[in-house]
Amino acid sequence: MNAVQDTRPQYLTALAQLEELFAAVTPADLDRPTPCTEYTLRQLLNHVVGGVHRFAYLGEGGRAEDVVAAIEDPSDDGWPAALARAAARATAAWADDAKLGRPTFAPWGEAPGALVVGGYVMETATHCWDIATALGGDFVLDDGLAHTALAVAEIVLPPESRVPGTPFGPVRPVPGDADVHTRLAAWLGRAV
């Protein structure tokens, strides 16, 4: 991925996909396990909304270590509204094209804003797969978004860079005919 590539449109696509998934979650789903084995669906939704707020904070000039990528539980039916607030904040925070070239202090270190946006496309697209899988996998996820996320992942998370105890385990094998969403999840160490 070129450091100046603008993946903000893909990030907006990822947010729209998240909104559809969040709208499908019922209170009865919140204790389901997820492919992120450390999170129930409730905890993953907290993390995802918190991650969108953290991404907004980075666009506003903040440093990742200043905020936790999680929120307090909204009411069980308040997830879509919590996500909508976070999404509006992130969209506004990254609207200025100049931010793509600005040094930004992401969770993984200082990087140009464009690379940070790409990293959050990867994270958001992957968590869409996690949520869809936790809900039963009956969702049609955006293939183009997953292709962008996988391209980012292959650059920023090569297999030899994996450190035990981090969120990204070793690359998992996939069948040759695996779809792009499965390949993305496996690249990030998810059991598929």
- Asked whether residue 43 is assigned to any structural domain, the reply reads yes
- Percentage of residues in the chain with pLDDT exceeding 70? 96
- Asked whether residue 27 is assigned to any structural domain, the reply reads yes
Residue-wise pLDDT tens digits, 22-32 = 999 999 999 99
Domain count, the chain: 1
SS3 106: strand
**Cα–Cα distance for residue pair 143/8, rounded to 1 Å:** 16
- Asked whether residue 158 is assigned to any structural domain, the reply reads no
CATH number, domain with residue 110? 1.20.120.450
Q: Provide mean pLDDT across the span 78-100.
A: 96
Question: Sign (positive/negative) of CA torsion 90, 1, 145, 69?
Answer: negative
Q: Determine the structural domain holding residue 69 and report its residue range.
A: 8-148
- Asked whether residue 174 is assigned to any structural domain, the reply reads no
18: phi then psi, degrees, rounded to nearest 5: -60, -40
- Burial bucket for residue 85 (CB in 10 Å: 0-12, 13-18, 19+): middle
DSSP one-letter string for 123-186: HHHHHHHHHHHHTTS-----HHHHHHHHHHHHHHS-GGG--TTSS--PPPP--TT--HHHHHHH
Reply yes or no on whether the pLDDT at 2 is more than 50: no
pLDDT value of position 120: 96
- Asked whether residue 163 is assigned to any structural domain, the reply reads no
- Asked whether residue 154 is assigned to any structural domain, the reply reads no
Residue-wise pLDDT tens digits, 146-162 = 999 999 999 888 888 87
- Asked whether residue 183 is assigned to any structural domain, the reply reads no
Reply yes or no on whether the pLDDT at 77 is more than 60: yes
Mean residue pLDDT of the chain comes to: 92
**Cα–Cα distance for residue pair 173/96, rounded to 1 Å:** 40
Q: How confident is the model at residue 14 (pLDDT cuts 50, 70, 90)?
A: very high
pLDDT value of position 39: 94
**Cα–Cα distance for residue pair 126/187, rounded to 1 Å:** 10
Reply yes or no on whether the pLDDT at 122 is more than 60: yes
- Asked whether residue 165 is assigned to any structural domain, the reply reads no
